[in-house]
Amino acid sequence: MQMRRKLRIAKFNARLRRWTEEEDDWLRTMRNQDFSRRFNRTVAAIQQRRYDLRIPQPKREHPWTEREDALLGKMSDPDFARQFGRPQISISPRRRQLGIPAFNPRPSHGPKSKTNSWAP
């Protein structure tokens, strides 16, 4: 033990497992939570391995449905995000991409009259 300490070699820990090539390959395709469950690794260990190998976490794929597109602009962006489980920041860009204006809860009363209705 003293020789290891002199050489500054970390204490042996039987719980630490070496990373396999298969795990490294899966890191490129899986998100941290899914990887953690499948390979029984902590999220912290996965984040460190990604950092060491310079592998970014893949983006979550959640394609827009026709129903979601049809309801854009029919409710406020925060309400839409809550109802469909989407990040609020993703709603406005999608609306703009489709040319849909933001939700306006105030009813339109048509063009305003230039004459005062209360004038004698």
Q: Is residue 11 pLDDT above 60, yes or no?
A: yes
Q: Do the Cβ atoms of 112 and 120 come closer than 8 Å?
A: no
The model's pTM is 0.46
Burial group, residue 64, by CB count within 10 angstroms (0-12, 13-18, 19+): middle
**What pLDDT score was predicted for residue 13?**
64
**What is the average pLDDT across 61-73?**
92
CA distance 66 to 34: 27
Confidence of residue 15 (pLDDT cuts 50, 70, 90): low
**What pLDDT score was predicted for residue 8?**
76
Structure tokens, 117: 């209705």
User: Which residue blocks in the chain are alpha helix, DSSP H?
Assistant: 2-6, 21-27, 32-39, 43-53, 66-71, 77-84, 91-98
**What pLDDT score was predicted for residue 35?**
93
CA distance 70 to 63: 14
